[in-house]
Structure 1
Amino acid sequence: MTDKKYTTPTAHTSAWIAQTWISFTVSIAATGIGIIYMPVNTWMKGYLGMGTLFSIGSTISLSKTIRDVEESKRVISRLDEAKVEKMLAEYDPYNKVV
């Protein structure tokens, strides 16, 4: 009836998961070390550190929100398709009620 193909998301490999965590850890450590050794006063370092933490938190929230929206679209599409399939399965063209 429809050309849409629903596939389940593929699982990430352990190598990909490790690479993501290592990348995240190295980037945060490098930013932190850069802020610590920056030749500015403590207030400026604190400001940059808080900005970094807020940026990380916002990025995590944004990525979770985008994922949730996409998952909800998938669920709604599947529910709509199931309703149509049920209606088609129950429809009997030879049983006409006039």
Structure 2
Amino acid sequence: MSKPIRPTQTTAFYVQAILSFAVSVSSVVIALIYLPASGWIRAFLALGLLYVVTSTVNLCKVVRDRQELSEVTNRVDQARLDKLLAEHDPFRVDAA
């Protein structure tokens, strides 16, 4: 049997994702610092930004965990099927 092809991530993609996140968060933080509004409004928006970031991280973790669980379940099912097929002998005659 052939092994399933697993998608891989290059180092460039990983670095791009990190840099993109850092640039987006830092640009919003800088915009909040220079926003011509009172401190309470900036604090409220900063709290909203923090909530969005933590929710995004949590969502990424949940999606990753669900995908890993699905992969493990598929591997266990495939191992059971392989074992059944290996043990099956179509030419065996049961003595009755």
Q: 1:61 and 2:58 equivalent?
A: yes
Matched length = 94
Q: Name the residue aligned to 1:38.
A: 35
* C-alpha RMSD of matched pairs (Å): 1.7
CA distance in 2, matches of 1:6, 1:14: 22
**Normalising by structure 1, what TM-score?**
0.85
Q: Which deviations, in whole Å up to 9, do the C-alpha atoms of 1:40-95 show, x marking residues without a partner?
A: 11111111101101110110110111111111111111110110110111011222
Structure-2 residue corresponding to 1:7: 5
Name the SS of the counterpart of 1:51 in structure 2. helix
Q: Which runs of 5+ in 2 are unaligned?
A: none
Runs of 4+ residues deviating >3 angstroms: none
Name 1:74's counterpart in structure 2.
Answer: 71
Q: Point out where structure 1 has 5 or more consecutive residues left out of the alignment.
A: none
Q: For 2:48 and 2:69, how far apart are their aligned partners in 1?
A: 31
TM-score when normalising by structure 2: 0.86
Paired residue secondary structure (2:83): helix
